[in-house]
Chains A and B, each alone.
Chain A
Amino acid sequence: MIADLSFWIFSDYAVSTAIKLAVVMLIIPLTSLILVYVFLFKMMAFMQSRLGPMEAGPHGSLQLIAEALKFLQKEDIHPDNADKHVFALAPIIVLMSTFLLYVVLPVGPDLVVEDLDTGIFYAMAVSSLSALGVLMAGWASANKYALLGGLRAAGQLIAYELPLVLAVVGVVIQAETLSLQGIVHAQANWEIFGIGSGMPFIVTQGIGFAIFMVAAQAELTQTPFDMPVAETELVGGFHIEYTGFRFLLFFMAEFGTAFAFASIASVLFLGGWSLPFVDPTANWLNIVGPGVMLAKILFLSMIIFWVRFTYPRLREDQLQKFAWKLLIPAALANIVFTGVFKVAF
């Protein structure tokens, strides 16, 4: 039994898993750091003729670390009437959903934590877990604003989840696989009408891409779909009663998920770590791939945050209308067109 256990601990499998785990644990705070600094602090500031943070580190680049340290020192307040256990559990579930998303994200030919067969399907399922956490937070806080925020989050889930899933189907039809690694390879080898090789799916999935990005915006509760948070209406919505570190968890999860969604979109529509006209099995892509992917992710994140800083907020009923009367029919039509395209050519 003991020999068995030590075999397990020192096996290649266990070691590689431990390394992967450590890398992801490092990456998630790092991604929120990058996104918050580059977009929330600097790009937003420049868009609004300000400088943004300038004091902590060169050009304020260490600001978020200072903020995190500040949050660590803040009191952890549980409201009297709150449902203690659910209240404590909610941010963990939200963060867990972010963590689990990173399992399937490929960044190079061999660089992926676990290339699950169900890949994209798993990612969609796991990402909706965060809505559960948000609903729990809203309900457990024993605060009316939080309750309204939580209910709005639930309402939003049923509005954007479908377009998100249906927009993916077009890509799946073209790639003939659910695995994210498989989808990247499918794009790297894909030729459209015999022209070029390694064209990204966005060439034919333009509508799908647009629907996916809009739905992702809603999933990430970024303006114009930030009704569950809505500072000026619900004063923060579901996380209104959270203080200190627990609030930071929500914050980290928000940006970690934004990063994960940008990477899913880049895998599905922009070819992930692959480059056009490049052999996807080349070993050097393991080095260059993450950089290529990061460039694509930052580009997509820029779009997400650009929209966030520009548009006013929609109303809950307008989101439902938008989703059911525009996004879902468009996504269904996209599936049919892609199917016809696939069978015809």
Chain B
Amino acid sequence: MTATESAPVEVDVDTDEMIASRRRLLDDGKVLRLSEIDAEQVAGDIDDERMIINMGPQHPSTHGVLRIMFELQGETVVRSKPIIGYLHTGMEKTAEDLSYLQGCTNVTRMDYASNLFTELSFSLAVEKLLGLEIPERATWIRMLMTELNRMSSHLLFLATNGMDLGAVGMMLYGWKEREDVLRFFESVTGLRMNHNYIRPGGVAADLHDGWEDGVARLLAGLPKRLDEFDILMTGQPIWRDRTQGIGVISTEDAVALGATGPILRSTGYAWDLRRDMPYLAYPDVDFDVVVGTYGDTFDRFAIRLNEIRESMRIVEQCLERMPSGDYRTDDRKVTPPPRARIDESMEALIHHFKIFTEGYTVPEGEVYAAVESPRGELGCYIVSDGSPKPQRMHIRGPSFVNLQTLPHVLQGGLIADAVAVISSVDPIMGEVDR
């Protein structure tokens, strides 16, 4: 959504604080611009009681291939520098060589824990360029699927967060519940991940018969599990000791660093694109934005745990109110003719062939469409030159931006806290490196 379309949002942050934050972060952020060799050098000269230790790329708690260079004094983190790029696959560049129809296969692989959101933001961007209205049922299906995806992504977070803090049991409980959601995805899209399900113009296939039962089963089973997680983690003294007051970030700092999603919300700043810049049919459903108070690791954990509950509310409403109708637009420009027509009409055959080889053209212009992914604002920016392929596609990845907060947040903590904090940012490296 462009800024003109939605109401300007009231920003209730202290302006003086904000300026101070920016200045402080400029200093903190210097480390991000240092080269690795320089970062090592500086540390060695200052004080020989400090040591540089690399965490990652091959490290169990960096969620893939994130590398963080720590400058330690004892076990206290003096400075840290996240280094990325170990998973760079050139997806954004690849997108320039794929038609708009093929684009979704590409973007879905970025955030491999919540694939549907990248598909959604890409589709929304393309549809906005085309000026395409999608049928109501498609909108609700998208909402249902992305909310389920949010649940699965947050369940994965609960699992990895537990694991990073040493609770092995939690890791498997989280994965087990997530597996149930993925099984439902498989029945709808055919794949557990990398669905390529949400496409410009609607979704790839209608929900299968009996999907209501599948969703109802998920909704029936999960609340009990979530309550168990509450017992196992939330109310657990060791868990609280390890997470409360750790990795604290203020609202001003979070805003200055561009952090969104649970990190921003943990500071008490209720910013959720679903409510503040609504897309799909979110204005029609009833849900609450979960916010924290202290901006610490515990808040980020609790927000995600409770967002699963909120997502379940939305899914419930989707289940009740799923409209009937078409699952994709009948605009012949983006939707291929039905299979039956191809057998009888030469034009239909040619049209089908053209759509799947050359693709459809999209009017010239540039567009940005953002959705609230489980990690924050996920935006897709497309520049079109009127050809069937985007001239430039860029994804604003929330994990990438949120990683910026690390040098600031890790400072002064112990290395054991660092693991908890990295985990609470929940970075997905596929989306960071793109």
Which positions in A face B, CB cutoff 8 Å?
Answer: 44, 47-50, 144-145, 148, 223-224, 226-227, 230-233, 235, 309-318
Listed from nearest, the 6 A-B pairs whose CB atoms lie closest are: A313-B166, A48-B172, A232-B61, A312-B167, A312-B165, A315-B416
Which residues of B in the span 216-237 have a Cβ within 8 Å of any Cβ on A? 232-233, 236
Stretch at the interface among B82-90, B111-119, B238-246, B365-373: B238-246
Digit string of B152-177 for contact with A (CB within 8 Å is 1, else 0)?
Answer: 00000000001111111110110010
Q: Are B416 and A312 in contact (CB under 8 A)?
A: no
Q: Are B166 and A230 in contact (CB under 8 A)?
A: yes
Digit string of B39-56 for contact with A (CB within 8 Å is 1, else 0)?
Answer: 000000000000101000
Which residues of B in the span 236-261 have a Cβ within 8 Å of any Cβ on A? 236, 238-239, 241-242
Q: Are A233 and B416 in contact (CB under 8 A)?
A: yes
In the assembled complex, the Cα of A230 lies from the Cα of B170 at a distance in Å of 16
**Do A48 and B169 form a contact, CB below 8 Å, given A230-B416, A233-B415?**
yes
Chain A to chain B contacts (Cβ below 8 Å), 28 pairs: A47-B169, A48-B168, A48-B172, A48-B176, A145-B53, A148-B75, A226-B166, A230-B416, A232-B61, A233-B415, A233-B416, A233-B419, A235-B59, A310-B169, A311-B166, A311-B238, A312-B165, A312-B170, A312-B233, A312-B238, A312-B242, A313-B167, A313-B238, A314-B242, A315-B242, A316-B414, A316-B416, A318-B241
B283 is an interface residue with CB less than 8 A from chain A? no
B190 is an interface residue with CB less than 8 A from chain A? no
In the assembled complex, the Cα of A312 lies from the Cα of B415 at a distance in Å of 16
Q: Are B176 and A312 in contact (CB under 8 A)?
A: no
Residues of A within 8 A of B241 (CB): 314-315, 318
Q: Are B169 and A235 in contact (CB under 8 A)?
A: no
Shortest beta-carbon distance from B217 to chain A in Å? 17
Q: Are B53 and A232 in contact (CB under 8 A)?
A: no
Q: Are A312 and B59 in contact (CB under 8 A)?
A: no
Digit string of B403-416 for contact with A (CB within 8 Å is 1, else 0)?
Answer: 00000000000111
In the assembled complex, the Cα of A148 lies from the Cα of B419 at a distance in Å of 15
Task: Tally chain B residues at the interface, Cβ within 8 Å.
Answer: 30
Partner of B165, one of A148, A313, A316: A313
Q: Are B169 and A232 in contact (CB under 8 A)?
A: no
In the assembled complex, the Cα of A46 lies from the Cα of B75 at a distance in Å of 36
B386 is an interface residue with CB less than 8 A from chain A? no
**Do A235 and B60 form a contact, CB below 8 Å, given A224-B166, A313-B166, A315-B416?**
yes
Shortest beta-carbon distance from A228 to chain B in Å? 12
Q: Are B414 and A312 in contact (CB under 8 A)?
A: no
Shortest beta-carbon distance from B235 to chain A in Å? 13
Shortest beta-carbon distance from A316 to chain B in Å? 7
B417 is an interface residue with CB less than 8 A from chain A? yes
Q: Are A309 and B168 in contact (CB under 8 A)?
A: yes
Partner of A311, one of B59, B163, B167, B414: B167
Residues of B within 8 A of A315 (CB): 241-242, 414, 416-417
Residues of A within 8 A of B232 (CB): 310
Shortest beta-carbon distance from B51 to chain A in Å? 6
